[in-house]
């Protein structure tokens, strides 16, 4: 549905039987997420425990809801939280076999249009019951993207007069109504007016503002939002017509411009510096009428324009951690970042793990060792205004891409790189995921080491191992062994054994959170390098780490919170 937040749309399913229908709908809306009842549905994007709580939370968050179940269940679940008409998301019930689409709530946020689209996708007619919608084929109070209704209450009265049979006169351009079966008359009392001019509400008028105005700002001025509002008022232009603020590129990272755009609820774009605000406005919207007002330039176009096509946006670069592999262990902020990404960079295995991706998302898979090159490539893309994601497994700050990305930025004197919106989003690191499966081996002080001597000398690794083992820290080994580094682990264990008893528990987690994961608990004496490969996490206990048998046959490993006083 154009203009709607399809990214966050939730398809809620109660049983495995409706998953096929959910998937068909997801093909039509690739950004929609399938929410499945935990224990009943396999293969959903999110699992939930309570249907009612989930539905209410989604509704309160304004997320469009497609529930694959009886309409009655949805009505009962939402009854307690039903909001004022006007501010609610679309809510629809769809029969689990896809044979019926019933729009329930959200007439003003486009539920009927969405119902028609879903009906089309499923090959059935939507059960539209809204009289205005049936009569006019559109909801007059919900103009298409690019247009904003001036006053909802006013509009409701207008539409009921229209439904009573009065004719209508259209002033200004309303291309979306060209095919609508409206009775028009030049001398009609009721007027549908489309224009940027600010006008007081009138009972006989349905006022719709095209989002066709851009304001070029001088970002050095204080209180930008207020100045823009005042300038628009002085020029007699409705604030609802404002689509875009245009600042100069050097101001890309200025919090004040971003705050102003947020406050005004408009898109923020940037154009090269070195010209006056009027010239900037004129260049951005060729042919628009430009009004200079109080150090700002207001450009009024003849029709709504796509603000995303004006100048350029601030690029974003997010370095994300996928967690060990399982979708449930990926943090929601990372999922949201993946959904908004235009470019995805990373080692091929991790990029594949982060999918599925949409056709419009560009994947740049590279070899695992080309970290700095990948980091620079990511900045080059983000500096063009793109939304870029660099993926790491586990946490991006633990032997992964975040440090490489920061190093690339630190080395660079390209101002465009420094203006990028850089975010590091954490993930569950392999040591933590492995520890959680084993119990709590990292319950007391521990030390994290990479045994790879690709990027540091082996002597440093040996020194650290020696000191950490001597300090009686639990040890977590990343990159314990590989084909190119066959002997290092054996040598590392020799160092550890100098300080630690052979009965010390060792946890070996392989492919944790991935298909075919294994978890083994052995003693330090039993541990052989052959038991370990590069997909294994090695956790070596301290003198206080213990193991006990769990009834299911597994063993729990933990390191107590306390430490015996030194004798």
In whole angstroms, the minimum distance from the beta carbon of 403 to ligand SAH comes to: 10
Which residue number, 359 or 530, has a Cβ lying nearer to ligand SAH?
530
Q: How far is the CB of 334 from ligand SAH (least distance, A)?
A: 13
Distances 524 to 6, 98, 177, 493, 495 between C-alpha atoms, Å: 53, 57, 77, 8, 12
Burial code (b: 16+ CB inside 10 Å, e: under 16) for 470-503 equals eebbbbbbbbbbeeebeebbeebbebbbebbeee
Distances (CA, A) of 389 to 30, 257, 350, 399, 512: 18, 24, 12, 17, 24
Q: Would you say 106 or 480 has its CB closer to ligand SAH?
A: 480
- Cβ 347 to ligand SAH, closest distance in Å? 10
Angle at 379 between CA 340 and CA 371, to 5 degrees: 100
**Residue placing its CB nearer to ligand SAH in the complex, 168 or 451:** 451
Q: Which is nearer to ligand SAH, 73 or 326 (CB)?
A: 326
Question: CB of 393: closest distance to ligand SAH in angstroms?
Answer: 5
**Distance in Å, CB of 400 to ligand SAH, minimum:** 4
Query: Reading across the β-sheet that carries 555-558, which strands appear in turn?
Result: 439-440, 555-558, 546-549
Nearer to ligand SAH, 102 or 375 (CB): 375
- As measured in angstroms, the least distance from the Cβ of 390 to ligand SAH is 12
* Nearest one of 439, 536, 522, 521 to 489, comparing CA atoms: 536
Strand 205-210 and strand 147-149: pairing? antiparallel
Strands 546-549 and 555-558: antiparallel
Residue closer to ligand SAH, measured from CB, 500 or 510: 510
* Nearer to ligand SAH among residue 149 and residue 424 (C-beta): 424
SS (H, E, C) 419-478: CCEEEEECCCCHHHHHHHHHEECCCCCEEEEECCCCCCCHHHHHHHHHHHHHCCCEEEEE
Closest approach, Cβ 501 to ligand SAH, in A, equals 24
Contact call for residues 481 and 489 (beta carbons, < 8 A): yes
Per the CB < 8 A criterion, the answer to whether 377 and 308 are in contact is: no
Closest chain position to ligand SAH (CB): 394
DSSP-H helix ranges across 108-216: 111-122, 131-136, 152-163
We find the least distance from the C-beta atom of residue 404 to ligand SAH, in angstroms, to be: 12
Strand partners, 192: 170, 206
- Identity of the residue, 257 or 512, whose beta carbon is nearer to ligand SAH in the bound complex: 512
Alpha-carbon distance 455 to 468, whole Å? 20
The contact set with ligand SAH (CB under 6 A) reads 324-325, 392-395, 398-400, 429-430, 434, 478-480, 509-514, 534-537
Q: 446-450 and 505-510 as β-strands: parallel, antiparallel, unpaired? A: unpaired
Q: Which is nearer to ligand SAH, 264 or 404 (CB)?
A: 404
Shortest distance (Å) from residue 422 CB to ligand SAH: 18
C-alpha span between 8 and 359 (Å, rounded): 18
Q: 497 vs 514, which CB is nearer to ligand SAH?
A: 514
In the complex, least distance from residue 21 CB atom to ligand SAH, rounded to whole angstroms = 33
434 and 535 in contact (C-beta within 8 Å)? no
């Amino acid at each position: 549905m154009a203009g709607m937040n399809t990214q966050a749309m939730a398809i809620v399913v109660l049983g495995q039987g409706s998953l096929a229908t959910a998937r068909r709908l997801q093909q039509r809306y690739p950004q929609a997420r399938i929410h499945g009842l935990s224990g009943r549905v396999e293969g959903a994007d999110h699992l939930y425990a309570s249907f009612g709580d989930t539905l209410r939370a989604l509704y309160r968050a304004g997320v469009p809801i497609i529930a694959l179940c009886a309409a009655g269940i949805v009505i009962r679940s939402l009854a307690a939280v039903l909001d004022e008409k006007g501010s609610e998301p679309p809510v629809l019930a769809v029969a689990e076999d896809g044979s019926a689409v019933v729009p329930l709530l959200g007439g003003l946020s486009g539920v009927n249009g969405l119902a028609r689209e879903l009906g089309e996708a499923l090959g059935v007619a939507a059960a539209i019951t809204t009289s205005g919608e049936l009569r006019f084929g559109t909801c007059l109070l919900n103009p298409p993207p690019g247009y904003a209704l001036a006053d909802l209450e006013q509009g409701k009265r207008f539409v009921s007069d229209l439904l009573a049979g009065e004719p209508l006169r259209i002033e200004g351009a309303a291309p979306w109504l060209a095919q609508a079966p409206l009775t028009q008359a030049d001398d009609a009392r009721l007027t549908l007016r489309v224009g940027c001019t600010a006008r007081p509400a009138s009972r006989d008028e349905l006022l719709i503002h095209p989002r066709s105005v851009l304001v070029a700002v001088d970002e050095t001025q204080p209180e930008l939002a207020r100045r823009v509002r005042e300038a628009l008022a002085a020029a007699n232009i409705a604030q609802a017509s404002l689509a875009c603020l245009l600042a100069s590129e050097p101001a890309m990272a200025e919090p004040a411009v971003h705050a102003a755009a947020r406050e005004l609820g408009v898109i923020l774009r940037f154009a090269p510096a070195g010209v006056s605000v009027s010239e900037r406005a004129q260049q951005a919207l060729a042919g628009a009428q430009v009004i200079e007002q109080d150090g700002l330039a207001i450009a009024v176009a003849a029709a709504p324009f796509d603000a995303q096509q004006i100048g350029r946006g601030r690029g974003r670069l997010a370095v994300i951690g996928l967690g060990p592999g399982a979708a449930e262990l990926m943090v929601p902020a990372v999922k949201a970042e993946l959904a908004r990404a235009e470019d995805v960079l990373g080692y091929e295995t991790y990029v594949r793990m982060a999918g599925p991706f949409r056709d419009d998302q560009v994947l740049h898979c590279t070899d695992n060792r080309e970290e700095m090159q990948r980091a620079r490539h990511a900045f080059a893309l983000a500096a063009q205004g793109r939304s870029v994601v660099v993926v790491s497994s586990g946490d991006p700050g633990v032997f992964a891409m975040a440090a490489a990305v920061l190093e690339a930025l630190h080395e660079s004197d390209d101002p465009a790189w420094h203006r990028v919106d850089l975010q590091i989003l954490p993930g569950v690191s392999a040591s933590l995921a492995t520890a959680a499966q084993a119990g709590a081996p990292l319950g007391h002080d521990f030390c994290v080491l990479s045994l790879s001597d690709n990027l540091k000398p082996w002597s440093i690794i040996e020194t650290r191992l020696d000191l950490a083992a001597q300090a009686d820290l639990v040890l977590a080994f990343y990159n314990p062994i590989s084909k190119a580094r066959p002997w290092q682990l054996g040598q590392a264990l020799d160092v550890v054994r100098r300080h630690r008893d052979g009965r010390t528990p060792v946890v070996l987690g392989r492919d944790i959170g991935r298909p075919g994961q294994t978890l083994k608990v052995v003693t330090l004496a039993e541990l052989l390098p052959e038991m370990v490969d590069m997909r294994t996490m090695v956790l070596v206990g301290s003198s206080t780490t213990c193991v006990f048998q769990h009834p299911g046959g597994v063993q729990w490993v933990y390191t107590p919170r306390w430490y015996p006083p030194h004798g």
